[in-house]
Amino acid sequence: MLPAELDELVSELGQPAYRTQQILDWLYVKGAREIAQMSNLSKSLRSLLSERTRITSLLEVDRQESATGEAVKFLFELPTGQRVESVLIVDGDRRTVCLSSQVGCPLDCKFCATGRMGLIANLQAGQIVDQLLQVSLYARERGERVTNVVMMGMGEPLLNYDQVVRALKLMRLEEGLGLGGRKITVSTAGYVPGIRKLVAEDLNVGLAISLNATTDEIREKLMPINRKYKIADLLEAARDFFDRRGYRVTFEYVLMAGLTDLDEDALRLAKLTRDTPCKINLIPYNELEEDGLYRRPSRRRLDQFYRLLRDSGTEFTVRESRGRDIDAACGQLYHQQEKVRTAL
């Protein structure tokens, strides 16, 4: 619940206003799983709350840690029995949680395991936030603290817009999780209407766009959404986002051998983004063990691509994907989930 909604409920129950903060603290700081746990509330108030509302939690059914300890993947089950994955990524002092917004995804990106599921269900805001709460509690038990959130897990966040925005507002509550806008990034495959709506929101969160190709022809083969929203549309939306929100968009670019890693791709990428305030995040492809449709470029090819970008004066970062050994890296979510399902 958002504070205004909880204020209204507390008022309807004839309770003093300070009860709102107590309940928010139980929900978003202490991570209460049941109203009965709220021990500083009277029994009568807990009973009234139980009659009017309930806490619906995800069930953690599996947890895997990478060999390096740099990633932990969580498998959560919804009350409906459907499952989603979240990942805790460890990078120096940063602890980033990668959250899912849907069960599956409708966009059918050819290189992404989640896209092969199709859309099964949209998550509710509380289910999105509960992923963060449970992973945060895990981190806290290890003496650590979550510092960043990325909406880059299963699903297209901007196709579950209302619930995702509600979840983002809950994450930013000063009375609760208190994450700053610059600590939260929403990633999209390029759903331009959703980007336009996000620009108008008073959220000030970061935006990442999965570009992944430098021509519409190749991008359309990889990402069917490009049939409707072309590369030029994405660049325009990115410029608008910067003009309105003051944040540079991050363009994510997956490098696939012989497909998106050519010399001409590097040169086109530099040219495409030259006049757009943006950051470029290069992601060497994380292979899906079952199909072999796409391959990770060789070290030599990657170095050549990086050199061409540097020589063109283009700034970029390279994502060192963590958790590849547990299928927790970019594009791999759900791949391992089927194996977990059969093992339970």
pLDDT for residue 338: 45
- Return d(Cα 67, Cα 249) in angstroms, integer: 32
**Complete domains list, the chain, with CATH:** 3-52 (1.10.150.530), 59-343 (3.20.20.70)
Instruction: Render each residue's pLDDT in the chain as its tens digit; 344 residues.
Output: 788 899 999 999 999 999 999 999 998 888 888 999 999 999 999 999 999 988 888 999 999 998 888 999 999 999 999 999 999 999 999 999 999 999 999 999 998 888 888 999 999 999 999 999 999 999 999 999 999 999 999 999 999 999 999 999 999 987 778 888 789 999 999 999 999 999 999 888 999 999 999 999 999 999 999 999 999 999 999 999 999 999 999 999 999 999 999 999 999 999 999 999 999 999 999 887 666 789 999 999 999 999 999 999 999 999 876 555 655 545 454 544 444 333 32
Q: Hey, how many other C-beta atoms are within 10 angstroms of the C-beta on 166?
A: 17
Interacting residues of 335 by C-beta distance below 8 A, sequence separation 6+: 113, 288, 289, 290, 327
pLDDT for residue 93: 93
Query: H helices of the chain, where?
Result: 3-12, 18-28, 43-52, 125-141, 161-171, 192-200, 216-222, 231-245, 263-273, 299-311, 337-343
Interacting residues of 271 by C-beta distance below 8 A, sequence separation 6+: none
pLDDT for residue 162: 98
Interacting residues of 241 by C-beta distance below 8 A, sequence separation 6+: 195, 198, 199, 207, 247, 249
- Return d(Cα 42, Cα 153) in angstroms, integer: 39
Both structure tokens of 103: 């069960």
Identify whether the C-beta of residue 122 lies closer than 8 Å to the C-beta of residue 129.
Answer: no
Identify whether the C-beta of residue 206 lies closer than 8 Å to the C-beta of residue 251.
Answer: no
pLDDT for residue 344: 29
Active site residues: 85, 330
pLDDT for residue 56: 81
pTM, two decimal places: 0.89
